[in-house]
Amino acid sequence: MAKTHHGAGRVPRLLARLLLRALPTVVGVVVLIYFFLRLVPGDAADAIAADAGAATSAGMEALRARLGLDQSLITQFGQYVWGLLHLDLGQSVRYNAPVIDLIWQRLPDTVLLMVTAMTIAVALGIVMGMTMARFAGRLPDRLLSVLALVFYSVPGFWIGLMLIVVFSVQLGWLPSGGSGPIGRAGQGWAGVLVKPRYLLLPSVSLGLFYLSIYARLTRASMLEQAGQDYVRTALAKGLSPRKVMFRHVLRNALLPVTTMVGMHVGAMLGGAVVVETVYNWPGLGKLSFEAILSRDFNVLMAILLLSSFLVIAANVMVDLVHGWLDPRIQET
């Protein structure tokens, strides 16, 4: 069983199947988002004209023709998909640069932020949930439950601002925004070393909400697992409670947590829009906010598509992790 499980060719086969399954979703998302975004009143030409402050109607026509906006919607969609297949996401009218370049430029900071926030959320969430389950019904459990509910109810952008007030304005310990020092101090090893100082507050603001979900989920599923027959059997055959806890109960209790993490990868990018704006973090979230304000259609489309693909990829990852955590789950 374990042999075939890790056998050669399994992962490519599994990937092919998962991608095939994701195909209708991918097509649906592309169509939905494209036509949805075209409902936005005012097009890129309007935005450029508004930026410039003045426009003649002849100038607007020329601009629309140059941007391809004078063609039929279906033609434009066809051209977009054709470009998409060649990794050409079009041109940003706001930044006057290829969208793909903008994305590549902003992606690393967002990935860094999200990975840090998710790591904090998962690690602390599981520890918190285990502690709550360990002391179920007693004081530590009650206190931590209240804390989890507080984290669950607090708006991320507000906790971000309050952290700035405490740690940047009052105490002066951490920077209040940006992703690194400007100029020479931000380069090379010095830049790497100061990065965590800029990263800490935004990732805590972004991660707290998810931390509370994982804590509550871990608690609930550990209590659920602890009542199962296999736990009694494991204890009866003489395994130490500690071993049962970590090798069996936790392993099974983590299944719902991994499912949630997969689902939250996309949601977190939504949260990043707000948190990156609060902290002036130069990532995709801030880029999408700027794109909304300037009606930068191509940029928005690219970010929505990228995040959708990210979600689909995360779901595939979760399926793989599930197979590892519980070998009984075969890919179906």
Partner 1 sequence: MTDMTTTTAMAPAGSRALRLFLRNPNAVAGMLILATVLFAAIFADLLAPGDPLTMVAQPFLWPGQNPAYPLGTDMMGRDVLAGIIHGSRVSLAVGLAATATSLLIGTLVGAITGYYGGWIDRVGMNLVEIVQTPPNFLLLVVIVAIWQPNLPTVAIGIGAVSWPTLARLVRGEFRAIRGKEFVTAAHSLGFSDARIIFREVLPNALPPVVVTSSVLVATAILMESALSFLGLSDPNRVSWGSMIGEGREMLRTAWYLAAVPGLCIFSTVLAFNLIGDGLNDAMNPRLAGRE
Interface ranges with partner 1 (CB under 8 A)? 24-25, 28-29, 32-33, 36-37, 39-41, 136-137, 149-150, 152-158, 161-162, 164-165, 169, 220, 223, 227, 266-271, 273-274, 277-278, 288-289, 292, 295, 300, 303-304, 307-308, 311-312
In 3D space, the residue among 63, 250, 278 whose CA is nearest the CA of residue 162 turns out to be 278
Distance of CA 57 to the CA centre of its chain: 42
At closest approach, how far in Å is the CB of 255 from partner 1? Answer: 14
Cross-strand partners of 98: 91
Closer residue to partner 1 (CB): 200 or 263? 263
CB of residue 6 vs partner 1: minimum separation in angstroms?
A: 30
- Minimum CB separation from partner 1 for residue 7, in Å? 30
The backbone region for 25, taken as left when phi is positive above 0, alpha when psi lies in -120 to 50, beta otherwise, is alpha
What is the dihedral sign for C-alpha 175, 176, 177, 182?
A: negative
Segments of the chain assigned E as strands: 91-92, 97-98
For residue 62, CA distances in Å to 58, 73, 94, 251 come to 6, 18, 18, 62
**Toward partner 1, which CB reaches closer, 19 or 62?**
19
Q: Closer to partner 1 by CB, 169 or 193: give it.
A: 169
Considering beta carbons, is residue 152 or 186 the nearer one to partner 1? 152
Residue 150 token pair: 């507080």
In whole angstroms, how close is the CB of 132 to partner 1 at the nearest point? 10
- Residue 157 CB, shortest distance to partner 1, in Å, is 5
Query: Of 152, 175, 170, 124, which is closest to residue 278 (Cα–Cα)?
Result: 175
Min CB(282)–partner 1 separation in Å? 17
Q: State the minimum distance, in angstroms, from the CB of residue 188 to partner 1.
A: 31
Nearer to partner 1, 249 or 269 (CB): 269
Residue among 308, 292, 288 at smallest CA distance from 102: 288
Closest to partner 1 by CB, 71 vs 277, is 277
Cβ atoms of residues 201 and 279 within 8 Å: yes
As a whole number of angstroms, the distance between CA 206 and CA 233 comes to: 41
Closer to partner 1 by CB, 186 or 309: give it: 309
